[in-house]
A and B are shown apart, each in its own frame.
Chain A
Amino acid sequence: MDYFKSKVLSQTETAKGIYLLRLQVPEQQIKPGQFYMLKSWEDDFLPLMRPISVYRYGNGILEFLYRMVGKGTLLFSRLESGDEVDLLGALGNGFPCTEVKGKIALVGGGIGIPPLYETAKTLRSLGNIVDVYLGYKDDLFLVDEFADTCDDLFIACENGYEGYKGYITDIVNHEKYDAIFTCGPEVMMFNLLKNSTLEPSQLWLSMEKRMACGIGACLTCNCETTHGMKRCCSEGPVFRGSEFTMN
């Protein structure tokens, strides 16, 4: 983990309100599913850095795919090549790619999709069969990229624009898999967990909470688990399904 400056290489709007930010960074050690805290403003302008999961990393280029939802991401969306971005990371535990084996499903929803990209690549490189399920509200993104990194790709779109019309959780055939990794809206992930035929300990959920420090000091990103309050930033963001009670 380090706090350092990076340079914007490029930025593009890849779907409506979804931006791809490419940064030039020193060599990083990153596990799939980890995140960084980002800021592109003076210290006292916006008081909190923004946690964003890594989409892709390689050859000193770190890529984030984020949705513009508020003031911080609005400022990110205005970044141009050559601008500076402060980074703190890599943070969090990431997905436990070496703890699973066999046939793995990755289930992503909305802006929870990007962190599954490196996860898919890593799981496959370890010899697993990897099926990817991507759920969208309307605009699609990263479909071609995922098509190249998984065995089978399934798409669901709430407005029926492409693939299955409805929720992605409707079309996951749990029985086919040895483990499931998921990242997306809490309601989607808990739905998946509740309806799974797998042991809850074989599902891993990547949680998202409001954060301040990002490193485990401030205790604001609390995740209520069966083992008490945990810090999403440093003890997560990835938790086993068995750490949540379903009621």
Chain B
Amino acid sequence: MKININGITFKNPIIAASGTFGFGKEYHQLYDVGILGGISSKGLTINPKEGNAGIRVYETASGVMNSVGLQNPGVEKFIAEELPWMKQTGSVVIANLGGGCLEDYIAGIELLNETEVDMIELNISCPNVKSGGMAFGIKADVAYEAVKAVREKCRKPLMVKLSPNAENIIEMGQACEKAGADSLSLVNTFKGLAIDIKQRKPIFNNLYAGLSGAAIKPIALRMVHEVCKNVRIPVIGLGGIYTTEDVIGFIMAGATAVQIGTANFTNPLICKQIIEELPGFMEEIGIENWEEIRGVIQ
């Protein structure tokens, strides 16, 4: 069940995805979140953020659109108030760090360097914050410069979270690898639009919002497959994972581990249930470790 990413041991390949799981405390009321391979924190920024006004979530066919806008307590408060609890759960703690400009990322990294955070997930892909975040995630050369600058300061394993809205997902993955990323996670949400036709207005104040859920899974899986074939660093797959079969599929596409996000909303025990099902599945498909099936899809 165990996996290793950038020298860090995860109990299993199931990681709770950033933005859907808070800092783990709420779900801990329902089950011991220490059984998770890892928890990726709510997206953090150097300064606290109130997030977006108006509607923040909207259901679509087999999908969910969100526009939370990185509401978070800021890196300092995270370190003081959330990190100690997360660390004692026993799961690998991944700090998801976003930002509007390079200076924000660097300031966040410098604070996180001094903590017990196991890993940084650099969010260059949030579609819901104007003038920031995703700008870095669209063009490979812009991402390269950002990741390179962060890499120089970052003393933790550095995972870069890619946007499916990148101009070219393969070039994006390669650029991040070249800039010094230790691993990649993909995909973040797809930029989408929902319209209230009666009011002739967009549903979201921010116009566009991020689409996740089962609707995006085939595209996410294709992108994970493409990137895995073209980089050497570990890839963590996410996008519409709901079942143990989905997890196996992402691993067969080349992923080292997976993140589960939107599915927590439809079944708050889904990560636990998948973790419990995995050993039986491994037995059923006749494997003893993940390497036997990782990347078997050519």
Contact = CB atoms under 8 A, between A and B. Distances in A.
A203 interface: no
B50 A228 contact: yes
Interface in A39-89: 39, 43-49, 71, 86, 88
B64 A210 contact: no
A147 interface: no
Contact of B262 (A2, A47, A86): A47
Counting chain B CB atoms within 10 Å of each CB, the highest count among A1, A47, A213, A224 belongs to A47
Contacts of A210: 55-58
B48 to A, nearest CB: 10
A47 B213 contact: yes
Given A1-B30, A210-B56, A210-B57, A218 B20 contact: yes
Contacts of A228: 50
Interface in A202-247: 210-213, 215-222, 224, 228-229, 234
B30 A2 contact: yes
B199 to A, nearest CB: 15
Contacts of A221: 56-57
B63 interface: yes
Interface string A1-36: 111000000000000000000000000000000000
B91 interface: no
A46 B50 contact: no
Contact of A44 (B50, B55, B214, B264): B214
Nearest to A86: B267
A88 B266 contact: no
Contacts of A49: 265-266
A47 B50 contact: no
Given A43-B242, A215-B26, A220-B56, A48 B21 contact: no
B265 A48 contact: yes
Contacts of B50: 228-229
Interface footprint category on A:
20 to 34
Contacts of A229: 50-51, 71
Given A213-B26, A219-B71, A228-B50, A47 B66 contact: no
Nearest to B267: A43
B14 to A, nearest CB: 15
Contacts of A219: 22, 42, 51, 56, 68, 71
Interface residues of B, number: 37
A43 B266 contact: yes
B88 interface: no
A216 B265 CA distance: 11
Contacts of B268: 3, 88, 213, 215
B62 interface: yes
Contacts of B167: none
A224 B19 contact: no
Contact of A218 (B22, B243, B263): B22
A224 B68 CA distance: 13
B68 A47 contact: no
A217 B62 contact: no
Interface string A149-161: 0000000000000
Interface in B232-274: 240, 242-243, 262-270
A68 B75 CA distance: 43
A86 B213 CA distance: 19
A218 B262 CA distance: 10
A48 B21 CA distance: 15
B29 interface: yes
B26 A216 contact: yes
B68 to A, nearest CB: 5
B266 A215 contact: no
A222 B56 contact: yes
B64 A212 contact: yes
A76 to B, nearest CB: 15
A44 B242 contact: yes
A155 B242 CA distance: 47
A220 B66 contact: yes
A219 B21 CA distance: 10
B53 interface: yes
Contacts of A44: 62, 213-214, 240, 242-243, 263, 266
Counting chain B CB atoms within 10 Å of each CB, the highest count among A1, A2, A45, A215 belongs to A215
B281 interface: no
A48 B64 contact: yes
13 contacts: A3-B267, A43-B263, A212-B57, A215-B27, A215-B30, A217-B22, A218-B19, A218-B20, A218-B265, A222-B56, A222-B68, A224-B53, A229-B71
The 9 closest A-B pairs by CB, nearest first: A220-B57, A217-B22, A217-B26, A220-B56, A44-B214, A44-B242, A215-B26, A212-B265, A47-B213
Given A44-B213, A218-B20, A219-B68, 14 more contacts: A39-B266, A48-B64, A48-B265, A49-B265, A210-B58, A215-B268, A217-B22, A218-B19, A218-B22, A218-B265, A219-B51, A219-B56, A220-B66, A220-B68
